[in-house]
A and B are shown apart, each in its own frame.
Chain A
């Protein structure tokens, strides 16, 4: 099996209180081809080492941004990371093609149900719509954008369900790490989750 190298850019400001994300990442280190990159642990002062981050990105084929959805967006440090690392002349612009052809995907956990993220629902927008700026960032950098991998209803989730999600997540990572698997293989679906069920 040829490996597709996966970088998980992980941003959780309070992992010590997390139930779902902490379970998801529990055994992530054991999956071959996956680099787990914990931003809040690495840069507690937001003092991001840009050069090192760019080198890391270059070494990987697929970038997964994983975080809890906070006020319809990502945690502050991840935004800071994007602002600093994905700069003109490197990630985009005339000579900026360092990320061209790589895959990008967002793994999002949220307390709201799937139904609440719809036109009729409480949040009035679908997840895809709320992630539009991130889709655009990926396109700007010439990356291939995958639909988001979303876990809904995390606030009231039972342990058994969390365990199932963790298994599913790990299976997804294993498949993505296989070079022969085409992430875009099936028809565009709303969530990436559906491709691995």
Chain B
């Protein structure tokens, strides 16, 4: 019997175990999972639901416990890899042997290196504990004001939950010129900003964070922006950016991608044939991803290799990376990376300002036949349709596809 050790107990690690256990008919692999967090694996994408008040249990992923081939050890952090000995050393000094090792350590949220960013009242947003702490802070005391730093998908979901469900006065700070700069263009972002403004969320676009102000007892009291305006706040949530957790690489002498992450090939294998990396901590030929779909794809790929059935899982849709933001009164989606369009692509936009704003941008091939990417705002039913059509010829007038 072979020993598989998985470092990390997030969504991708969970998927790997699930794939392996459902396909490993001969019980070839005995699996140990080391989870740094105290919780069982949970749906990280649904953390905003937790912020909105959904109970923790609802987020928990399918339990895999009763399986004699599987041991999940929570609250256990891996501190190092002893490659010659084929052992992982935990923070507690325990040595765990492996035949195959999968790194699924995920990513760590970026806390800006600015004055006051470590103060009490400042939070990052990545784990269940982070979100529980934010919830607690928002619910303690009456009249609270929060600043969410980062106007991306996560920042806006967080802002909406704080504002609507936790009744906190909420500001959003986005350093780029407009909200969701990775996914949207200026026109869509402007309509989104209008809708958010109407709900009462205050937006500060095109301004960076300069510092977090603190009082004498070390609590955050507000922030100052790069244009020197100040916002008073008790709660600051950093949602802008993550870094791959690749800190085991250095001591183990494993290579990293230029922009971080364990460097792996298309099979998710590091140069050490016994070690693999999947999910947010992996950099396939140097390219990182940060969403569930590619992580799951990597998990399935590795499961196949471990079982010597390396036929690749179904390819990811050409619409990936795709993003959906569903907030009351606003539906925003982007698919197929609208910013990576080739110079000879054709852009088609449709704007209906009234009665409810709708906007669509379709990016087509140079012959204006094939859909390559799209941005949608206020077209909730068109999303699955267009998502399916990325990489394909438009079968009907775009106007009809958008209805």
Say if A and B assemble together.
no
Q: Which A residues have a C-beta under 8 Å from some C-beta of B?
A: none
B residues touching A (Cβ–Cβ < 8 Å)?
none
